[in-house]
Amino acid sequence: MNKPKLTLIKIGGNIVDDDKALQRFLSDFNEISTAKVLVHGGGKIATELSKEMGITPQMIDGRRITDAKTLRVVTMVYAGLINKNIVANLQALGTNAIGLSGADGNIIKSHKRNHPTIDFGFVGDIDVVDGGKIKSLLQAGFTPVFCALTHDNQGSLLNTNADTIASELAIVLSEYYQVEFVYCFEKKGLLTDINDDNSFIPKIKIGEIQTLKDDGTISAGMLPKVDNISNAIQRGVYQVRLCHAEDIRAILTENVSLGTLFTA
């Protein structure tokens, strides 16, 4: 039996922060005719608000250190301002979106990160994703929009990397759907030269990733993104595309090959 198609897209903070880019993307997302799921970040807005509140943001290898005060900020920004703004705009376009954190419906449970040398604070590493509940929402005609928060099932929200959430959702939903998984951000793909947008690699196998880490091509904020792409493919996702938000319409509706395609 053939699985129905599902498009799962993760958009980065730099798209969320640019109102024109976000509106253009949401218009394109609205045109996707298959079942669809959206996952969004929002780091820049959280960083700016933290600074306004006198909280100094701390990042290590692209991951945010989240103390109690920072958790309040990211909860307000991710689950509130950004998530509901996206949901409202999708509703206006005709997509019946529903905004979710991992705590809603007990869909994504995590544990507080236990690192041998770094205290990440209220940062979550995912334990369980309930794909059946997401499937039920999709079958009921909803389009889930996930923010970058999960919970520990003990009353605490946890700041969780949006790339990781997207990756885990793709893995779980692949049980029910043929998942077309797209990481959509502000670059045209995985670049060999960060200063040249046209230096993207059209296609790469995950076995080639370590070499690009070793030579510095993949570094900083790209590290968790590429690690999650690799994880998704190793755990059954057929392929993952990393592309610019402006290319999403051409990729999904015109079948044009743009961005970087990651395969096994």
CATH superfamily of domain region 5-263:
Acetylglutamate kinase-like (3.40.1160.10)
Percent of the chain with pLDDT over 90: 70
Q: Please give the sequence-ordered ranges of beta strands (E in DSSP) within the chain, or none if there are none.
A: 5-11, 35-40, 59-60, 63-64, 97-100, 108-112, 124-129, 143-146, 149-151, 157-159, 178-185, 203-205, 239-244, 260-263
Q: What confidence score (pLDDT) does residue 61 get? A: 66
HSE-CB of 3 using CA atoms within 13 angstroms: 13
What are the b/e assignments for 157-166, b being 16+ CB within 10 Å? bbbbbbbbbb
Q: What confidence score (pLDDT) does residue 186 get? A: 81
Q: What confidence score (pLDDT) does residue 1 get? A: 64
> Does residue 241 carry a pLDDT above 70?
yes
pLDDT tens digit sequence for 97-141 = 999 999 999 999 999 999 888 899 999 999 999 999 999 999 999
Q: What confidence score (pLDDT) does residue 215 get? A: 92
> Does residue 225 carry a pLDDT above 90?
no
CB 5, CB 110: distance < 8 Å: no
What are the b/e assignments for 83-97, b being 16+ CB within 10 Å? bebbbebbeeeebeb
| pLDDT band at residue 42 using 50, 70 and 90 as cut-offs | confident
In this structure, the strands spanning 149-151 and 203-205 are: unpaired
Q: What is the pTM of this model?
A: 0.91
Q: Of the candidates 55, 110, 46, 111, which has an alpha carbon nearest to the alpha carbon of residue 80?
A: 46
Question: Stretch 31-42: mean pLDDT, rounded?
Answer: 94
Output the CA–CA distances (angstroms, integers) from residue 127 to 130, 210, 227, 236, in the order listed: 10, 26, 17, 17
Look at residue 55 and give its three-state secondary structure: coil
Q: What confidence score (pLDDT) does residue 249 get? A: 87
Question: Stretch 71-83: mean pLDDT, rounded?
Answer: 95
Q: What confidence score (pLDDT) does residue 57 get? A: 82
Domain residue ranges of the chain, discontinuous segments joined by +: 5-263
Q: Choose between 249 and 89: higher pLDDT.
A: 89
Q: Which token pair is 139?
A: 């079958």
Q: If you average pLDDT over every residue of the chain, what do you get?
A: 92
Q: Choose between 220 and 250: higher pLDDT.
A: 250
Question: Stretch 64-88: mean pLDDT, rounded?
Answer: 94
